[in-house]
Amino acid sequence: MKPLSIPNLLSACKSIRNLEQVHTQIIHKGAEQDHFVITRFISLCTSLFSNISYASSVFDRVLQPNIYLWNTLIKGYCKHSSLAQCISVFLRMKQSGNVVPDEYTFPSLLKACSSELALKEGQAIHGLIVRYGTEHDVFVGSSLVDLYGKCREIEFARKVFDGMCVRNEVSWTSMIVGYVNAGDLIEAKKLFDVMPKRNMNGQPNEAVEIFLKMQSMNIKPDEFIVVSLMSACSQIGSLEQAKWVDSYVSQSSLDLHQVHVLAALIDMNAKCGNMGRATMLFEKMPKRDLVCFCSMIQGLSIHGHGVQAVSLFRRMINEGITPDDVAFTVILNACSHAGLVEEGCRFFDSMINEYSLVPSTYHYACMVDLLGRSGKLRAAYELLKSMLVEPHAGAWGALLGACKLHNDIELGEEIAAQLFEIEPHNACSYVLLSDIYAAADRWLDVSFLRSQMIEMGVKKKPGRSLIYSAKPSVWYPYESVQ
């Protein structure tokens, strides 16, 4: 049996109640200033029990926290609190004067920026990373690649990636995901064109090529990588490529039982048009979860099987799975595409009244689309006006599209006026209204609108400067220099 030391007691904690009991022991044994013990305590308190305020109060009693303690606390905040809170803890750390941020400090901060798409804050932190000389760490580099990729600053991501002296699977995944999300697989291909060619038995394409290059560089693809790869395939929608990846994944030693892997595999097959294979994988699952149901329902919807999508949704509920907001987006979308007005309205109603979900702007957009397409323009308009939150521009756009479809000039003008206010630089609404006028032979209105559109439509994106520091591999955006 293990001795009843405090660290051992900590690792045995199964509930917050246990943790409080060990905390009593810590105070009793006078271990409140023991950095090792308190670090374990805070780590456990935040990661296992998500109790940042408790962790914070214990931290505050430590007189001279060391770097381990600060880093653990910052990670806790980054996981469970807002970016503003994380940065405020980081500033407290810097102002304490006892410790210097190191390569363990920055990854969690960058992750917090990444999840809030806080580019400016991320760039400021990038500046600090360079200042503290931690930019060559693989964790820091990967986090930066992830941050810039997520913020659609793919060139920054790439620059960091190129400057990294060590890269691992995480760095590669972050870079690939960045390119995938930017929809820029062509650029990815260009990068890998400078490396030796490999035979691919048929269809060369970008994501698979990246994948093969990784293998040739002895980077073993893990579950993360193949999920990214399959996500890329889903977006490209190529059946050939999906088949290739499917057979690779199925024959590999990768763990198909990891929930993300199978979910991505089903989603890829469903999106690429291989519903047969998707169905087989789906039905063979020992326990089907919400995500896989959604992938299947969406797959059916994409391929025009709206009625089947609805019945699969009903089966999901019968199997005891509770739909969430995403599931309702999927099914409302399916109803909208298949023109299943009655079913859609019933789902929308049950979403609110049975499942107590608050419809988002996306749900309203689906409903507006559904009602609008079937000619119930006024009902759609009333629904939009009844929204408590500000409607998404997409919802107005969908309704304007419906006005075009049903040649309703009066309502079209009313809605376009709202859209011009929300999105004055989006050409779509001008084009739609102009089409409505054209269909009614109101050419004067058309030409007026077109000239207005040209006037508003051309807007140059602001430029950006970069500066380079003494070391050529080190760079950061100009704004980050303080």
Partner DNA sequence: ATAGGGTTAG
Per CB under 7 A, residues contacting DNA are 7, 35-36, 39-40, 43, 47, 66-68, 71-72, 75, 78, 102-105, 107-108, 110-111, 114, 134, 137-143, 146, 168-174, 177, 222-225, 227-228, 231, 234, 259-261, 263-264, 267, 271, 290-291, 294-295, 298, 324-327, 329-330, 333, 360, 362
Least distance from DNA to the Cβ atom of residue 150, Å: 7
Least distance from DNA to the Cβ atom of residue 380, Å: 18
Closer to DNA at the Cβ: 49 or 362? 362
Least distance from DNA to the Cβ atom of residue 79, Å: 7
Closer to DNA at the Cβ: 108 or 274? 108
Closer to DNA at the Cβ: 335 or 411? 335
Closer to DNA at the Cβ: 43 or 51? 43
Closer to DNA at the Cβ: 221 or 412? 221
Least distance from DNA to the Cβ atom of residue 392, Å: 11
Least distance from DNA to the Cβ atom of residue 36, Å: 4
Closer to DNA at the Cβ: 166 or 454? 166
Closer to DNA at the Cβ: 23 or 111? 111
Cβ-proximal residues to 97 (8 Å cutoff; 6+ apart), any chain: none
Least distance from DNA to the Cβ atom of residue 225, Å: 5
Closer to DNA at the Cβ: 86 or 380? 86
Least distance from DNA to the Cβ atom of residue 420, Å: 26
Least distance from DNA to the Cβ atom of residue 465, Å: 28
